[in-house]
């Protein structure tokens, strides 16, 4: 048992079992030992799309510029990225956005990042970006006063989830407790949750079915929707997940040293993530006055934005790297790789035209 696991065990002994969401929040974001709090997790256990190809960030940047243009070029506006990683996506997006200098002049760039190691990497990557930039440790009220143009790539999958299991006595929440030997273990809460906690479309679930929900994700999507409804803007969420046609099942997974691990094995030392419920995010944004489009598969989205044509341009300019360029693009759009599992969701002002990529 590592130091964080021992602290979690002590908390359980003192206060009783934790929800899975509480455990995840500590395992990922504990200020002293959380997986995302103190280290550079990128490359250690996963590689994100911006690290695969520069075209990804370029197209997302141009998508935001187009939305800004279509809404009458509001100024001042705010450009925000949630979980900016090394800053690669934003650097690529801003490079592409130079095609419309008015956009860069109109926006303040805010990177929502609490990890000091990643903040340093972002500062280095974006030191010459030419846009007024600041950092925020969270998505807070300081971002709620003007048009919001937001990117969130592989951010929502790392927000804590709760799990409920269908039993003969009803839906019971999965908790983290201690076994007879004092090790972290899963158990179901003895009392079922009220019916209001489970969506009506889950009533026909078979025994043993698992329902996952992320209150933190829903709250964030609702706040993004509220700001965009009030002030305008556009948000693009790209992640792996599912839409309204999803069935039942648990998607929470743990990865460490490039292999799957047990979820409770080494909190703070392994990555925990769950598939994003895009339908729920869209519904929450709509409930706060915004409109949503999608989700659509990442492959279809990037194809519609012209990723193949952009790859061909790069290959002509860099013939020695052509094979690598096309291989990287194929990884992003191939249905057998990231093209189908990863999806894109747009949040827009109500009444806005359907944005590019969401035909």
pLDDT reported for residue 160: 96
pTM assigned to the model:
0.93
Rounded-to-integer distance, Cα 139 and Cα 50, Å: 22
Rounded-to-integer distance, Cα 357 and Cα 49, Å: 17
Token reading at 296: 């659509």
How is the chain split into domains, by residue range? 3-34+162-212, 49-159+214-250+272-349
H/E run at residue 345: strand 342-349
Q: What is the CATH number of domain 49-159+214-250+272-349?
A: 3.40.50.12710
The answer to whether 295 and 221 are in contact (CB under 8 A) is no
Residues 6+ apart with CB under 8 A from 100: 65, 69
Report phi then psi at 323, rounded to 5. Answer: -60, -45
The mean pLDDT values, 10 residues at a time, for the chain of 359 residues are 95 96 95 85 63 89 97 98 95 95 97 94 93 95 96 96 93 96 96 77 80 95 98 97 78 89 94 95 97 96 94 88 90 92 97 93
Report phi then psi at 261, rounded to 5. Answer: -130, 170
pLDDT reported for residue 53: 83
pLDDT reported for residue 243: 84
């Amino acid at each position: 048992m590592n130091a964080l696991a021992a602290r979690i065990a002590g908390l359980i002994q003192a206060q009783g079992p934790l929800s899975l969401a509480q455990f995840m929040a500590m395992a990922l974001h504990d200020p002293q030992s959380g997986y995302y709090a103190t280290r550079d997790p990128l490359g250690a256990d996963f590689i994100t799309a911006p690290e695969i190809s520069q075209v990804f960030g370029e197209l997302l940047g141009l998508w935001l510029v187009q939305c800004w243009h279509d809404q009458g070029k509001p100024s001042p506006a705010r450009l925000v990225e949630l979980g900016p990683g090394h800053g690669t996506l934003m650097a690529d997006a801003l490079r592409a956005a130079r095609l419309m200098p008015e956009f860069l002049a109109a926006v303040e760039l805010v990177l929502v990042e609490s990890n000091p190691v990643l903040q340093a990497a972002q500062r280095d990557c974006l030191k010459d970006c030419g846009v007024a930039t600041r950092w925020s440790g969270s998505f807070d009220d300081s971002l709620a006063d003007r048009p919001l143009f937001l990117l969130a790539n592989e951010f929502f999958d790392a927000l804590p989830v709760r799990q409920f299991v269908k039993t003969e006595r009803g839906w019971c929440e999965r908790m983290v407790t201690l076994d007879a030997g004092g090790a972290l273990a899963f158990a179901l809460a003895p009392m079922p949750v009220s019916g209001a906690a489970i969506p009506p479309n889950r009533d026909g679930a078979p025994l043993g079915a698992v329902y996952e929900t992320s209150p933190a994700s829903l709250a964030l999507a609702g706040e993004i929707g509220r700001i965009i409804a009030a002030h305008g803007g556009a948000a693009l969420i790209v992640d792996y997940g599912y839409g309204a046609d999803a069935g039942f099942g648990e998607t929470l997974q743990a990865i460490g040293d490039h292999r799957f691990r047990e979820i409770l094995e080494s909190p703070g030392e392994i990555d925990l993530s769950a598939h994003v419920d895009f339908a729920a995010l869209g519904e929450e944004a709509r409930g706060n006055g915004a409109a949503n489009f999608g989700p659509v598969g990442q492959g279809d989205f990037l194809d519609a934005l012209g990723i193949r044509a952009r790859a061909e341009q790069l290959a002509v300019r860099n013939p020695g790297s052509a094979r690598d360029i096309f291989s990287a693009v194929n990884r992003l759009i191939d249905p057998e790789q990231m093209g189908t599992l990863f999806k894109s969701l747009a949040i827009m002002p109500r009444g806005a035209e359907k944005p590019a990529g969401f035909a």
